[in-house]
């Protein structure tokens, strides 16, 4: 279903900058976490739940787990295409998946990140906010 797919998936573009390269000529591996973070929040802006709005409501979303698989290098000036998906959404966490492709449409990196919800004031874990839950109520079982 089109409308459902749009909710789950988003494409983000990133041009590899010179500062991101290393002496191996590669996009240095420490940059991927930042690129994927930009991709997921651009996705959330697109579905009209900007992350800044979530924080304004008193909820922070720190990363609790992340993993990366580096398949091929990316190089300076590459115009990377990142497909972001919501893989899982529970009452306490959200899990994003990323597939990065280069100019030749080759998959060069795959990654996932799990984020928790915490109350800004108490610093304690809290439940998935309604603004997110209501958006995906049909697609995920909230357990």
- Shortest gap between Cβ of 40 and a copy of itself (angstroms)? 10
Judge whether 88 and 95 are in contact, CB under 8 Å: yes
- Shortest gap between Cβ of 1 and a copy of itself (angstroms)? 30
Which ranges of 29-111 would DSSP assign to H, the alpha helix?
A: 32-46, 51-56
Cβ nearer to a copy of itself, comparing 120 with 130: 120
- Binding-site ranges for a copy of itself (CB under 8 A): 15, 17-19, 21-26, 28-34, 37-38, 41-42, 50-52, 55, 60, 62-70, 73, 76-77
Phi, psi of 54, deg, nearest 5? -60, -45
Cβ nearer to a copy of itself, comparing 29 with 127: 29
Tokens representing 8 are 């789950």
Judge whether 68 and 32 are in contact, CB under 8 Å: yes
């Amino acid at each position: 279903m089109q409308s459902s797919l749009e909710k789950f998936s988003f494409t983000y573009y990133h041009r590899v900058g010179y500062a991101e390269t290393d002496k191996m000529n590669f996009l240095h591996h420490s940059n991927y976490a930042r690129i994927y973070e930009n991709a997921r929040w651009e996705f959330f802006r697109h579905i009209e739940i900007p992350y800044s709005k979530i924080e304004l409501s008193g909820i922070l979303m720190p990363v609790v787990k992340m993993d990366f698989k580096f398949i091929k290098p990316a190089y300076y000036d590459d115009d990377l295409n990142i497909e972001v998906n919501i893989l899982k959404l529970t009452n306490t966490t959200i899990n994003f998946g990323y597939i990065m492709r280069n100019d030749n449409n080759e998959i060069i990196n795959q990654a996932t990140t799990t984020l928790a919800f915490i109350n800004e004031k108490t610093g304690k874990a809290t439940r998935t906010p309604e603004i997110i839950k209501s958006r995906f109520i049909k697609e995920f079982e909230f357990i």
